[in-house]
Chains A and B, each alone.
Chain A
Amino acid sequence: MKIAVCIKQVPTREWQPRLNESKTWIREHDVPYEMNEPDAYALEEALRLRERHSGEVVVCSAGPARVQQVIREALARGADRAIHIEHDSLASADAAMIADALAPAMAEEQFDLVLTGLQSDDQGHGQMGVVLAERLDMAHSTIIMEVQIQDGSHVRVSRELEGGWFQDIVIPLPALLTIQSGINQLRYATLRGIMAAKNREIKKLPLPPGLQPSQQILALAVPTRSKQTQMIGGAPETAAGELVRRLREEARVL
């Protein structure tokens, strides 16, 4: 099985947002980055499938030079090699443009299975994987919680629906699946993995010509509160006492 995993580098959960001067994108130079969490689950699922069915796992990422950090991390966790579509303009690119950036190089590889996270923790369009499936002419399914290869020609997946419902779907290979967080337990890189990753190939490729954004960010801002939140300050004991008092006397919910 030749499996691709698409990985995005996103700001960490602890990152406090700061905007650029035109307030159309974040101020990038002091941002701490990490692997997009749903993509980490997609990577783990790919590694488990390789353990069961043999083959190789290829990490595919589109972004500026800094995304090498998460590519290296994926290699350290066990991926065999990587493809990096490198360009500064990809830092703020929308999902459709990322898919178009990845598609030509990924089409050439003729993967059996492509896994992506179901959405990114930065722009959160939740559509890169499905657009990529269309570009690669692969069947797809989304929000996947279980993957089983059948006869090497089909994949049976469990797709999450709303409110605790699931649906099994059988899809012919090659296929693209968007993976839901929590499908498996993540592994972390070992020292041996980190050392081994140093010798693995990262193929850098330029941006395909003629890509256009599909949407434009006119303005970014910190959201304003929709509710009047009463913030309770003071030492922990004082704040806790005051909160309980207000819940009893003001809100009358205790």
Chain B
Amino acid sequence: MILVIAEQRDGRLNRATWETLAAAQMLAGGMPITIVVLGAAPGNVAQELAAAGVGEVLVATNRALDPYTPDAYVMALGGLIRSVLPTYVLLPHTYQARDFAPMLAARLNKPLVTDVTAVTGTGTGATFTRLMFQGKLVAQVRPTGEPPWFVTFQIGAFRADAVRKGPAASITKTDVTIDPTLIRQKPEPPVQAVKQAVDLSQAERIVAVGRGIKSEENIPIAKKLAEAMGAELAASRPICDNGWLPMERQVGSSGQTVAPKLYVALGISGAIQHLVGMKGARTIVAINKDAEAPIFEVADYGIVGDLFEIVPAMIVELEKEK
């Protein structure tokens, strides 16, 4: 049996759960799929997921599950997994899964394969594809030892709309045991620290800079290109970490997700944390001195070369017809 751990907050399902269900269906090879929904008040999430062509949806409600803490989740899921003994336990590779899944697998002394982008084969013979070395290499891996095996799937690697829906599955209430005195984390309500004064998600064109820009003094070169293109200026995480551009201009998993008509990546190597924020762009241009940079894997147009030579030449070209 495959157990998919759904992610919800305040009764709203995280869409990445559907992507994990698509992966589960590819992996299943005839194995039944069960979904578990956890929370204090998961609303209609179970009803929504019952259509996912699965055998059963388990609902574990417990006041100690809200707000989310890794300790409560591991207590609840540890007991559940010991009793239902799935072959696989699958989750989306969200910030929440990254927080508790390694602890859950470690408590059960079982392997966890993270951030998987593809599945080859089905059932216990399956192998999993994941990127290593900042996306420079791709690995085929397999968990060792006896199941259950834990796997998390990269956001965006599987299509939510690929899930083969089916007749409404039965929804079963299940009890989970949580000792609230053993919950060590005391969380406060989330806050949006970065005021999104710049809404990059609405931008038609974006010029984004990465480490290749080398220093803060060079930012105006990219800014000038953005102006010549009628584009917003954005950046990868290291640039914002250094304070060269404000955090609100960061594209990637910890910043904004964008889908412009045109995305020009200047000196951005293309770490996965950046790619997840921009690979939905219609046309992607990459300019990088490293021909092996992973950014070229998602680019429509690529130039291998020195951005400090190419960008000024582009500006000249763009201004010719104005």
Contact A220–B299 (Cβ < 8 Å):
no
Interface presence of A140 (CB below 8 A): yes
Chain B contact residue count (CB 8 A cutoff): 93
Q: Which of B112, B137, B184 contacts A221 (CB 8 A)?
A: B137
Interface presence of B294 (CB below 8 A): yes
**C-alpha spacing A23/B25, complex, angstroms:** 30
Contact A215–B255 (Cβ < 8 Å):
no
Report A211-254 residues with CB < 8 Å from chain B CB.
Answer: 212-223, 225-227, 229-233, 236-237, 239-241, 243-244, 246-247, 251, 253-254
Contact A127–B112 (Cβ < 8 Å):
yes
Q: Which of B101, B284, B302, B314 contacts A231 (CB 8 A)?
A: B302
**C-alpha spacing A222/B135, complex, angstroms:** 9
**C-alpha spacing A182/B194, complex, angstroms:** 15
Please name all residues of chain A whose beta carbon is closer than 8 Å to the beta carbon of B136 when the two chains form the complex: 15, 17, 222
Q: Which of A125, A221, A241 contacts B114 (CB 8 A)?
A: A125
Name the residue on B nearest A182 (C-beta).
B241
B35 to chain A, nearest CB (A): 22
Most B Cβ at <10 Å: residue of A163, A172, A230:
A163
Known: A134-B106, A181-B238. Contact between A214 and B144, CB under 8 A?
Answer: yes
Contact A217–B140 (Cβ < 8 Å):
yes
Quick one: CB contact mask for A117-141 with B, threshold 8 Å, 1 for yes?
Answer: 0000111111100110111000111
Contact A251–B300 (Cβ < 8 Å):
yes
Contact B138–A131 (Cβ < 8 Å):
no
Name the residue on B nearest A236 (C-beta).
B309
Please name all residues of chain B whose beta carbon is closer than 8 Å to the beta carbon of A127 when the two chains form the complex: 98, 101-102, 105, 112, 114
Known: A164-B254, A216-B144. Contact between A247 and B139, CB under 8 A?
Answer: no
Quick one: CB contact mask for B277-292 with A, threshold 8 Å, 1 for yes?
Answer: 0000011111000101
Contact A253–B282 (Cβ < 8 Å):
yes
Chain A, interface SS category: mixed
Contact A221–B313 (Cβ < 8 Å):
no
Known: A133-B103, A164-B192. Contact between A244 and B317, CB under 8 A?
Answer: yes
Q: Which of A14, A142, A166, A182 contacts B190 (CB 8 A)?
A: A166
Name the residue on B nearest A138 (C-beta).
B184
A156 to chain B, nearest CB (A): 9
Please name all residues of chain A whose beta carbon is closer than 8 Å to the beta carbon of B240 when the two chains form the complex: 182
Known: A166-B193, A167-B189, A254-B229. Contact between A161 and B95, CB under 8 A?
Answer: yes
Interface presence of B256 (CB below 8 A): yes
List 15 interface pairs A-B (beta carbons < 8 Å), by A numbering: A122-B132, A124-B115, A127-B112, A131-B103, A139-B184, A163-B254, A164-B247, A167-B187, A168-B188, A218-B142, A227-B284, A230-B301, A236-B305, A239-B305, A244-B314
9 tightest A-B CB contacts, nearest first = A182-B241, A240-B313, A127-B102, A139-B184, A130-B102, A214-B111, A236-B309, A253-B262, A134-B106
14 further contact pairs, Cβ within 8 A, besides A124-B133, A162-B94: A125-B115, A127-B112, A143-B99, A163-B255, A165-B190, A166-B192, A170-B185, A212-B144, A214-B144, A216-B142, A223-B294, A239-B310, A240-B314, A247-B283
Which residues does A use to contact B, with CB under 8 Å? 11, 13-17, 19, 26, 95-96, 99, 121-127, 130-131, 133-135, 139-143, 159-172, 180-182, 212-223, 225-227, 229-233, 236-237, 239-241, 243-244, 246-247, 251, 253-254
